[in-house]
Amino acid sequence: DVKVTQSSRYLVKRTGEKVFLECVQDMDHENMFWYRQDPGLGLRLIYFSYDVKMKEKGDIPEGYSVSREKKERFSLILESASTNQTSMYLCASSAYEQYFGPGTRLTVT
Amino acid sequence: AQSVTQPDIHITVSEGASLELRCNYSYGATPYLFWYVQSPGQGLQLLLKYFSGDTLVQGIKGFEAEFKRSQSSFNLRKPSVHWSDAAEYFCAAFYNFNKFYFGSGTKLNVKP
pLDDT computed for residue A41 by the predictor: 86
**What is the amino acid identity at position B25?**
Y
Report the residue of chain A nearest B9, measured CA to CA.
Answer: A40
Residue A84 backbone dihedrals phi, psi, to 5 degrees: -75, 5
> Which of B99, B106, B89 has the alpha carbon at shortest distance from B31?
B99
> Which of A27, A34, A85 has the alpha carbon at shortest distance from A55?
A34
Of the pLDDT bands very low, low, confident and very high (cuts 50, 70, 90), residue B14 is very high
The answer to whether A8 and A103 are in contact (CB under 8 A) is no
Q: Among B42, B43, B104, select the one facing A42 at the smallest CB separation.
A: B104
- The Cβ of residue A16 has, within 10 Å, a number of other Cβ atoms equal to 10
Contact A45 B104 (CB under 8 A): no
State mean pLDDT over B34-60.
94
Of the pLDDT bands very low, low, confident and very high (cuts 50, 70, 90), residue A95 is confident
Look at residue B1 and tell me whether its pLDDT is greater than 80: no
Closest approach of A43 to chain B, Cα-based (Å): 7
Interface of B with A in 12-71 (CB under 8 A): 32, 34, 36, 41-46, 49, 51
pLDDT computed for residue B29 by the predictor: 78
pLDDT computed for residue B99 by the predictor: 79
Contact A96 B94 (CB under 8 A): yes
> Which of A100, A81, A78, A79 has the alpha carbon at shortest distance from A91?
A100
Look at residue B28 and tell me whether its pLDDT is greater than 80: no
Look at residue B16 and tell me whether its pLDDT is greater than 90: yes
Q: Which chain A residues contact residue B94 at CB under 8 A?
A: 96-97
Taking the C-alpha atoms of residue B60 and residue B84, their distance in angstroms, rounded to an integer, is 13
Q: Which chain A residues contact residue B43 at CB under 8 A?
A: 4, 90, 100-103
